Amino acid sequence: MSGVDVAIVGGGISGLAAAYELTKRGLSVRVLESSDRPGGVIRTDRFDGWVIDGGPDALLVQKPAAIALCRELGLGDRLVPTLTPRTAYVLRDGRLHPIVEGSFLGFPIKPSAFVHASLFSWPGKLRMALEAVIPRGNVDEDESIGSFVRRRFGTEAAEYLADPLLAGIHAGDADRLSVQALFPRLVEAERQRGSVLRSFRAHNMKPAPQGAFLSLPGGTQEMVDALVAALPPGTVQLGSRVTEMHRAGTYTLETGAGPVQARSVVLAVPAYVAGSLLGGFDTMLAGLCAAVPYASTATVAFGFRQEQIGRPMKGSGFVVPRLERTPLLAATWVSSKWPARAPAGHVLMRGFLGGGRDPHRTERGDAELIAAAREALAEIMGITGDPVVQRLYRYTRQSPQYEVGHLHRQASIERRLAALPGLFLTGSGFRAIGIPDCVADGRDTAGRAAAWLGAEASRESRPPAG
Ligand SMILES: Cc1cc2nc3c(=O)[nH]c(=O)nc-3n(C[C@H](O)[C@H](O)[C@H](O)COP(=O)(O)OP(=O)(O)OC[C@H]3O[C@@H](n4cnc5c(N)ncnc54)[C@H](O)[C@@H]3O)c2cc1C
């Protein structure tokens, strides 16, 4: 049976970032990944001039951990900003309305933005402007994103911003997702200044001039490939689903490819998988992990010839409020957002379906999902004829939902986990939504595992008392 300092279960970006940090510190590591490829949710297909990210395509600049890791991996010169114009749109009554300049997180901040925002009615705009004088609420109590935005900015902002944009990026339902867990900045603004608008204006909040996101010409998979290449050969063991875990001095992890022994274990799997592996250690902890809800989504990518598109794709794409009668949650105009994603004379776009708002959508067959996305895009974008390329990517139970109370449950998870020696949890189900936070949390967790191993080694080498 092979033995290592740390076994990492799950070879998504969280597990790989943890492995990178541990091997940099000189520890021996094995990443046990159930599927036949590393990267988890991150996946890019490249063929005939098309570069298609099935899942994530963008690294948020404001959270620097992922970009810093790209630079460490020698990818710094390959990071590319989004193309201009960077306008994002919101669908209302079948028409695309731009999120105007002078807005932040979609909220009009500058007076000019209130005037030009065609997305909102005048009574809606007036109600949003009143946010500056609405008294502070009980900021210590968690509430949903929908409830927060409705309370402070009114119903129209909840329906046309909170629902499609703030909850939409998490594939969730605005009336269930936690504002404290996902948008602590909004809560802090209310806590500190009594008003989001006044706080954003005081801090002169505006999008970064170079854009809010970066990516890589070969898609986000480039980052995964570089990470795996930076690890000692053989570190990542594919096709190795961990089915059981027990501890007798060291940990033993059972996989279809044989058992692996490790002094410490980092679980970097979805929370419900962590729950199933922890059952033999602490049933309450296992239950807390299993209770983190997950949504399923599907991405459908389409390539068309430029002349098939009736409406200009000047921006990054659009989001869709649930009030609109279309199965789409959002769409990205990939070839207008990033350079070199489609062959000359062609465009690439992606439609998103399912999520917490439409949980049964992804139960349908492939052909039905592709047709639903295609018909909706054709109507909104004025598309004629068949796509030259189409690809469906399913993400079944792969979008964790930080619902109201998530932070409370996370605190309980951490309290119970502290009693299990040498066992650590990371990944998007717990403290880290999105690639930058997954990288930061994976590396931080690795640091804690290394510190535990160091302390353990010095305990073992100490002569017995007396
Ligand atoms: C459609 C979509 C679009 C997104 N867009 C963006 C974006 O643009 N920017 C951004 O920053 N974030 C985005 N995200 C979020 C981001 O991709 C995730 O937060 C992040 O990739 C999660 O990484 P992870 O390693 O924690 O989990 P995962 O990627 O889910 O990795 C977990 C790994 O564990 C493995 N595993 C499961 N069970 C076992 C087992 N028993 N034994 C061994 N291995 C096991 C799985 O196969 C998987 O590889 C998006 C997510 C989705 C779904």
177 and 129 in a single domain? The answer is: yes
> In this model, does residue 463 exceed pLDDT 80?
no
User: What is the structure's pLDDT at 414?
Assistant: 98
> In this model, does residue 105 exceed pLDDT 90?
no
250 and 129 in a single domain? The answer is: no
Q: How far apart, in whole angstroms, are the C-alpha atoms of residue 128 and residue 150?
A: 10
How far is the centre of ligand 1, averaged over its atoms, from the C-alpha of 69 (Å)? 17
pTM of the entire structure?
0.96
Banded pLDDT at 275 (limits 50, 70, 90): very high
User: What is the structure's pLDDT at 5?
Assistant: 98
CATH of residue 440's domain is 3.50.50.60
Beta bridge partners of 26: none
Q: Which residues contact 145 (CB under 8 A, 6 or more apart)?
A: 162, 166, 167, 174, 175, 177, 178, 179, 182, 183
Q: Which of 41, 269, 401, 437 to mutate to test the pocket of ligand 1 (most atoms within 8 A of CB)?
A: 41
379 and 282 in a single domain? The answer is: no
**pLDDT tens readout for residues 384-442:** 999 999 999 999 999 999 999 999 999 999 999 999 999 999 999 999 999 999 999 99
354 φψ region: left (φ > 0), alpha (ψ -120 to 50), beta (else) = left
Q: Whose CA is nearest to atom 15 of ligand 1?
A: 434
187 and 234 in a single domain? The answer is: no
CATH of residue 157's domain is 1.10.3110.10
275 and 420 in a single domain? The answer is: yes
Within a domain: residue 130? yes
Q: Is the CB of 227 under 6 A from ligand 1?
A: no
Within a domain: residue 299? yes
Within a domain: residue 214? no
Of 202, 235, 260, the residue that ends a domain is 202
Largest CA distance in the chain: 85
Q: Which atom of ligand 1 is nearest to the CA of 54?
A: 1
Which structural domain, as residue segments, surrounds residue 353?
Answer: 294-400
% of residues, the chain, pLDDT over 90: 90
Of 361, 379, 400, the residue that ends a domain is 400
Number of domains in the chain: 3
Within a domain: residue 252? yes
User: What is the structure's pLDDT at 101?
Assistant: 87
